[in-house]
Amino acid sequence: MAQDYDHDLQSIQEARALAEAAYEAQQEFFRFSQEQVDRICEAMAGAAYRESARLGQMASEETGYGVPRHKMLKNHLGSKLVWEAIKDIKTVGVISRDPARGIVEIGWPMGVVAALSPSTNPTSTVMYKTLISVKARNGIVHAPHPAAYKCCGETARVMAEAGATAGMPAGLVSCMSKISLPGTQELMKHKRIAVILATGGSDMVRVAHSMGKPAYGVGPGNVPCYVDRSADIKKAAYTIVSSKAFDNSVICATEQAVVADKPIAAQLRTEMERLGAYFVNPDQAAALANVLFSPTGVINPRSVGQTPQTLAQMAGIQIPAEARILVAPLSKVGRDEPLSREKLTTVLGWYEADGWEAGCERCLEMIRFGGRGHTLVIHATDENVILQFGLEKPVFRILVNTMGTLGSVGFTTNLMPAMTLGSGGVGGSISGDNITTTHLLNIKRVAYGVNNPPAEAMVDAPAAASVAGGNSAGPSQAEVETIVRAVIEEVLGRKGGY
């Protein structure tokens, strides 16, 4: 007990020390030019990219989640793709001029970022958050999940070392090594922290939002995937199975259930089965539900990011050795159907709906149950159906004919590459964007006077204009005396009559 207590104190002290060091470094970094900032970021991105395979392997081994080669690809996104997307964004000094409007915009850093990273996507998240923070001239202190602190610390070390070689002040990028809840809370509330980037479980995100500071958080992603009768069925099946199997489904925008249009449902199922989707029976589905969730609906951490074979062993069921994902036919959405929840593992729900309107309603049920503001996937070629889904769904990423996993984070789409996906106001977030460097950049505006003020606003303005045709200067002294005399006479007359 005393040992735990000491660890908490050490964690709190480390958080304070790293926050102060990042602040001091950021004060120096504030004076750096755009060229210097970009040289440092480019060096860090390159170092992280070169180490992507090693760090991906390290993340998988430490956490027990996912597939090393898939984590390498996410590291490629967190380093190279993120840098390519933000490298031309101006963040230092004058970032834009609009002579016609008389507006000059000046980039201004927020300060020091507290960055919470999850165990599901640890190294790629550290890479991405470091680059978007430093690009905007912020310092950053990472607070990783306890199950991923080694790989996160190594990623931060690789990037900080490359940044230092390129001229970055010491302490600008760091990572906590003594992880505890009190320590992470101390970091978030520390006076030197200006903004919080929270990627992780719902409880930690809620804590981040309660700190009284700007915070970018993400909500759960119970992502429905509607397959319309107009879709390319073979391509849809290939994309869905690949996406659900990618890194054993630990990205929050992974498809959580297919909603298949009835006329093509049988064909879609056949194609998915051919690609390694194993459809479980009701008893097997119930056994999986017991393994994935507690009776209150809390996900079992041991089930996260696991292969179908591992899950089957945990559930005591038999499945083919070649199964890539497990698919459970479902009939309802809600607390009575555990597998209709978000499942950060290789289990996919399956619904059938006759027509896009019915499919739309089923997707809405899923989103309302646990995915407000996040993501929806649709496979279709009918542009009217696609537009209707875009208009109706309370989510901020509608992905068309692509993977939920890689489309949401900007790998297979032109969305901004990001590992923090905002869920907007409906999802409890302050943004529905893919969070990037512009979200960590304040903008000062120099605004020139371009319109003459109204004459009435000036000190030498004439008397105010009359209201409804009356005398704007009010009654004269003589008129006031006449009114007062009349009132007095009326009052005296009334008294005389009593």
**Contact by Cβ (8 Å): 129, 113:** yes
Q: Which two tokens stand for residue 410?
A: 């900007």
Give the strands of the sheet with 139-144, arranged side by side. Answer: 173-175, 139-144, 112-117, 193-198, 215-217
In the structure encoding, which two tokens stand for residue 214, read together? 């700007």
Active site residue 225: no
Contacts of 329 (CB under 8 A, 6+ apart): 279, 285, 350, 351
331 burial level (CB within 10 Å; 0-12, 13-18, 19+)? exposed
Pairing of strands 103-109, 441-447: antiparallel
Catalytic residue selected from 41, 152, 225, 252: 252
Bin 343: left if φ > 0, else alpha if -120 < ψ < 50, else beta. beta
Sign of the Cα pseudo-torsion (328, 332, 336, 342, in order): positive
* C-alpha–C-alpha distance, residues 372 and 180, integer Å: 30
Kindly state the helix (H) or strand (E) to which residue 129 belongs, with its residue range. Answer: helix 122-135
Measured in residues, the chain has a length of: 498
Which sign does the torsion angle of CA 204, 207, 213, 216 carry? positive
With beta carbons less than 8 A apart as the criterion, state whether 421 and 223 touch: no
Residue 459 · residue 109 · CB < 8 Å: no
Q: What SS3 string covers 223-274?
A: EEEEECCCCCHHHHHHHHHHHHHHHHHCCCCCEEEEEEEHHHHHHHHHHHHH
Structural contact between residues 288 and 317, judged by C-beta atoms closer than 8 angstroms: yes
Asked whether the beta carbons of 186 and 145 are under 8 A apart, the reply is no
In 83-177 the beta strands, taken as DSSP E runs, fall at 93-98, 103-109, 112-117, 139-144, 173-175
Cβ-proximal residues to 39 (8 Å cutoff; 6+ apart), any chain: 166, 167
For 94, list phi and psi in degrees, rounded to 5: -70, 115
**Two tokens at 409?**
């984070």
Annotated active-site positions, please?
Answer: 252
